[in-house]
Structure 1
Amino acid sequence: MCMIKNIIIVGAGRMGNAIAIAFAYAGIEIALVDVKDRNPAEKNEFLQKWNDSLDQELHLLEHIGMLVNDQCKVLKERIHFYFKDNQTIDWKNCELIIEGVPEIMTHKQHCFRWLEPLISKNCIVASTTSTFLVTDIAKLISHPERIVNAHWLNPGYLMPLVELSRSEHTADIAVEKLKTLLEAIGKVPVICNAVAGYIVPRIQALAMNEAARMVEENVASAEDIDKAIRTGFGLRFSVLGMLEFIDWGGGDILYHASEYLREELGERYTGPDIIKKNMRENRNGIRELSGFYKYESMDIYQYKLNVISKFAENLRFNKLIPQYEIMK
């Protein structure tokens, strides 16, 4: 399987710029196309704003030590900006389109209608949408086997995760090629089916709404809720995945905690059937050597040591590691 080399990003907004930086940082020449119709004066104004915005992002990377010496200049030279009417854009040889136009269906329709005659039928088309399903996007352009949603998390040049969503029509080779490319530039792609919310947005929407609800109900101040998230929730789940943590603590513990919260706070805390099923089958997690993961062949002590070591590293980095005999 050949690595994708010819990539065009359509949509020169915040996400398009961030993705262009990610590829350029990895050493790839990238074309970035503004898809809005503009008159000459509007083009000049937009180009200046785009340059200023890109410079600002690159200077941020300089300040945090990710770019040094002349790397900022070199990276910028790898990003080739075009307006949509530029006749030198190499659409014919494009292997991957990354679409990042605004999350408005009419904008998406217009974009794909314009793209259709320009690209080959073998060109993979990846939409960055967080709003529309891949099955919705596949209706906007021919050859649904080449359509994948690729949801990048902001800021795209820093966050490693990219959520890939496929439909039943998406070809395996399209997913594998895109996944291989993303891994090659240092990203961490995961694959999910065509369901609203992907993985992270679906989980974080529940958590963020609950945090806002706690402010609304005067449970705690916004500052203390965020402090709890940063020093508890965030630190924990930077080391253990959420399902891994259920296994760590025990699915039955989650079940009983959820039942209590359901009685006190409402039906939104009702646990899913899979937790009850695991309990019936004695698959509550590590202590029974089976849960969402299987632990029969694992060295449990070494596994726990690895987890605790990573957790301690995070605590040290955040200057939260306990000090021995601090009160003596």
Structure 2
Amino acid sequence: MTEQSERTRQIERVAVIGAGYMGGGIAQVLALAGLHVTIADAEPSLTQRHLDRLCREAEDFEARGLFDPGSAERVRANLHPADSLSQAVAEADLVEEAVLEQPEVKGPVLASIEAAARPDAIIGSNTSTIPIGDLSTNLTRPARFLGVHFSNPAPFIPGVELIAHAGTDESVVASVEALVARTGKLAARVNDKAGFVLNRLQYVLLKEAMNLVEEGVATAEDVDTVVRTTFGYRLPFFGPFAIADMAGLDVYQAGFRTLEEHYGERLAAPAVLTELVEGGQYGVKQGGGFVIPAGDQAALIGYRDTAYARLGQLLRELGPAPLGALSVDPRPVPSTHVATERDTP
């Protein structure tokens, strides 16, 4: 047996508790990967309605070319409703909790999951911001607990944050990491700090965008235009560290100097950036940077230019987003349940 196989366990049966928008999307992803997926919500009739909705959605996605041919049949074959939480989790290798983003709701649900699940079952939470260590206090076996944070909409967003708390067993993280790879998504291991990576960055961006509107610098519409057509245009292909490496870390240091003069210490150059620049590391052009070594930029620039041009072609093909013509879903899901997480960032 290899070291990798000793550290990881194949996950074949998954239960998703909370089958609303996020939980349902996660269940679709896992079903498409060929896993046996059981869903449960507040009551059996609601669980069945969610199952019917998820199957209809899969058919619609396939008809529109968003899912591969045969996907709807695969989802229908692999998704199963349960009459109760305890029934859903009884045989699961992994249980993914996807209920309301409130500790007072998640805590009792997690305790109920652990009480009904196998002792060796892995328990994951799809929390967007709550520290995993805080949630782990609801469990008697916290070593098998971690954050498994999908993004909205789960079937189409490729990144998944894996968040271990201080007591999470490494084999648990490795097993879920292998599962995420099996779904075709990309996992990033993240340390346990409130908001993790995704929402610390997203919330800071939104807060500063609101500050700009409050200060009268630009309207909300113009801020959105700037974000999506400038630095946001790069983000599908390059993260902030790669973008900085390509632009020049010395350039960023100078920019931070200007921002600090006007906005104070909160926008001063971070020490990690200053240390690189003072050590002669300016990014791709000299010395290497955060994630890209120095060297010939021809291949990188060629990829960049092709990527941006192709994105432009796609946006022209799609046309502008219909922000002024939002319609109501003709098949709303009843909102009488208390345990479903509707929209997480």
Name the residue aligned to 2:61: 61
Q: Report deviation, 1:68.
A: 6.7
Name the residue aligned to 2:40: 33
Structure 1 portions without partners, runs of 5+: 321-328
Q: Report deviation, 1:253.
A: 1.3
TM-score normalized by the length of structure 2: 0.82
- Summarize the Cα distance change of 1:150–1:86 in structure 2 as closer, same or farther, 3 Å threshold: closer
Name the residue aligned to 1:308: 305
Name the residue aligned to 2:24: 17
Q: Report deviation, 1:49.
A: 4.6
Name the residue aligned to 1:325: none
- Summarize the Cα distance change of 1:235–1:17 in structure 2 as closer, same or farther, 3 Å threshold: same
Rounded Cα–Cα distance in structure 1 between residues aligned with 2:75 and 2:118: 28
| Number of aligned positions between the proteins | 310
What's the CA shift string for 1:302-322, capped at 9, x where partnerless? 2332233222222232239xx
- Summarize the Cα distance change of 1:49–1:121 in structure 2 as closer, same or farther, 3 Å threshold: closer
Q: Is the 8 A contact 1:137 1:147 kept in 2?
A: no
- 1:148-227 map, 5 Å: 148-227=146-225
1:254 to 239, 252, 258: 252
- Summarize the Cα distance change of 1:263–1:63 in structure 2 as closer, same or farther, 3 Å threshold: farther
What's the CA shift string for 1:244-291, capped at 9, x where partnerless? 111111222112212212222344322321111112211221111322
Structure 2 portions without partners, runs of 5+: 318-345
SS state at 1:214 partner: helix
Q: Percent identity?
A: 26
Deviates more, 1:139-148 or 1:59-68: 59-68
SS state at 1:97 partner: strand
Rounded Cα–Cα distance in structure 2 between residues aligned with 1:203 and 1:85: 34
Rounded Cα–Cα distance in structure 2 between residues aligned with 1:157 and 1:53: 14
Rounded Cα–Cα distance in structure 1 between residues aligned with 2:145 and 2:86: 25
Name the residue aligned to 2:83: 83
Rounded Cα–Cα distance in structure 1 between residues aligned with 2:247 and 2:70: 49
Q: Is the 8 A contact 1:26 1:185 kept in 2?
A: yes
Amino acid at match of 1:274: V
Name the residue aligned to 2:97: 99
SS state at 1:164 partner: strand
Cα RMSD (Å): 2.4
SS state at 1:318 partner: helix
Rounded Cα–Cα distance in structure 2 between residues aligned with 1:243 and 1:74: 39
SS state at 1:116 partner: helix
